[in-house]
């Protein structure tokens, strides 16, 4: 998505070898105009998949997920991160190792908001090693919900997440795919028809 790539080049900051900081429009300050355009892009791609619900993880997945939900006309549920082991009542839970923070969180969704009648689109801000996506997949499997796709705002294609998820048969649509960071400059995967 050209608009997103341009914004990454303008405002993204490469930290260390493999982390991109996008606090200016996605992870801290949020640009609603860009979020709306991204939501529409996800909705167009997944329009004919019969999606009944969007699932994401707090916090940074929520903004793009809500705009995709608005465009598709379906509710958005975000998994909560919590540390308490006693809060397991009526919840689907999974553990997720955070790539950027080097911590492990339990993520949970109330059983009230996901069941076997749901066809789910998973959305997240980044795809790196696929840990967050795998946690959400685990939760959907516990609920016997169908997963019809994964929508990612920024994919770091040099990490292993896409490959592992594709091997499991998932359809992944990323709005921006980063091939590499070269001397602190973001290089995108060249794709035909990338608009
Ligand atoms: P994964 O679970 O695929 O290994 O990593 C994705 C999760 O880690 C995302 O939910 C995101 O919050 C965080 N993450 C991974 N890489 C980056 C990055 O380069 N920048 C930022 N801001 N977050 C990242």
Query: What digits encode the pLDDT tens for the residues 4-62?
Result: 999 999 999 999 999 999 999 999 999 999 999 999 999 999 999 999 999 999 999 99
Is the distance from CB of 122 to CB of 151 less than 8 angstroms? yes
Average pLDDT for residues 81-96, to the nearest whole number? Answer: 79
Q: Given the CA of residue 124, which atom of ligand 1 is nearest to it?
A: 10
pLDDT for res 52:
98
pLDDT for res 183:
94
Mean of the per-residue pLDDT values of the chain: 94
58 Cα to the center of ligand 1, angstroms: 12
User: Phi/psi at 22 (nearest 5 deg)?
Assistant: -130, 45
Residue closest via CA to ligand 1's atom 22 equals: 21
- The boundaries of the domain holding residue 94 are 2-194
Cα-Cα-Cα-Cα dihedral sign, residues 20, 21, 24, 27: positive
**pLDDT bracket for residue 74 (50, 70, 90):** very high
CATH number for the domain spanning 107: value is 3.40.50.2020
pLDDT for res 82:
75
Query: What digits encode the pLDDT tens for the residues 145-172?
Result: 999 999 999 999 999 999 999 999 999 9
Would you say residue 86 has pLDDT above 80?
no
Torsion of CA 77, 80, 86, 87, to 10 degrees: -30
Determine whether the shortest distance from the Cβ of 132 to ligand 1 is under 6 A.
Answer: yes
pLDDT for res 192:
67
Is residue 21 packed enough to be buried (19+ CB in 10 Å), middle (13-18) or exposed (0-12)?
middle
Domain total of the chain: 1
33 Cα to the center of ligand 1, angstroms: 22
Most ligand 1 atoms within 8 A of CB, residue of 132, 177, 181 to mutate: 132
131 Cα to the center of ligand 1, angstroms: 9
pLDDT for res 193:
54
Average pLDDT for residues 108-133, to the nearest whole number? Answer: 97
DSSP class of residue 25 equals I
pLDDT for res 195:
47
88 Cα to the center of ligand 1, angstroms: 25
Q: Determine which of 64-68, 81-85, 136-140, 175-179 has the lowest per-residue pLDDT on average.
A: 81-85
- Model pTM score: 0.96
């Amino acid at each position: 998505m050209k608009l997103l790539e341009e914004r990454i080049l303008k405002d993204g900051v490469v930290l260390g070898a493999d982390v991109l900081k996008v606090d200016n429009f996605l992870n801290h300050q949020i640009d609603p105009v860009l979020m709306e355009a991204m939501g529409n892009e996800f909705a167009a791609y997944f329009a004919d998949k019969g999606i009944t619900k969007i699932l994401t993880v707090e916090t940074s997945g929520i903004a793009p997920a809500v705009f995709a939900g608005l465009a598709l006309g379906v509710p958005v549920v975000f998994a909560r991160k919590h540390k308490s082991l006693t809060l397991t009542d009526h919840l689907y839970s999974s553990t997720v190792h955070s790539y950027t923070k080097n911590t492990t969180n339990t993520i949970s969704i109330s059983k009230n908001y996901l069941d076997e009648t749901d066809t789910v689109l998973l959305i997240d801000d980044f795809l790196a090693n696929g840990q967050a996506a795998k946690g959400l997949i685990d939760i959907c499997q516990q609920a016997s919900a169908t997963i019809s796709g994964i929508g990612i705002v920024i994919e770091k294609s040099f990490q292993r997440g896409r490959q592992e998820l594709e091997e499991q048969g998932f359809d992944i649509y990323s709005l921006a795919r980063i091939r590499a960071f070269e001397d602190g400059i973001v290089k995108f995967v060249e794709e035909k028809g990338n608009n």
